[in-house]
Amino acid sequence: MNAQDLIKIKREIEAAKTSVSELTGEQTLLMRQLKEQHGCDTIEQAEGKLEQLDIEIASMTRSIEKGLAELDEKYSNI
């Protein structure tokens, strides 16, 4: 291994450190947003909340579809 190889490795290490620092900052920001906007401290909590919201959306969708079918049946003869 010569000096150029060591310099190249050093640059790669510095680039990796910078990348890790940027990604850590981004993760911190995203976790803060998750807490502030959705009240979740962890990814697991967010996944649980997402599942619950999916259930609520499905229920609301069924209710809307049922209401639309009833309206269609009621007013289709007019």
Give the span between the Cα atoms of 51 and 40, in whole angstroms.
Answer: 13
Cα separation, 24 vs 39, whole angstroms: 21
- Mean pLDDT, all residues of the chain: 95
The sign of the CA dihedral 61, 65, 70, 72 is positive
Question: Sign of dihedral through CA atoms 34, 38, 44, 47?
Answer: negative
pLDDT at 75 over 70: yes
pLDDT 10s digits, 4-25: 999 999 999 999 999 999 999 9
Question: What is the rounded CA–CA span in Å between residue 58 and residue 49?
Answer: 14
| pLDDT (tens digit per residue) in 20-48 | 999 999 999 999 999 999 999 999 999 99
Structure tokens at 65: 């579809």
**Whole-number pLDDT of residue 76:** 83
pTM of the model: 0.67
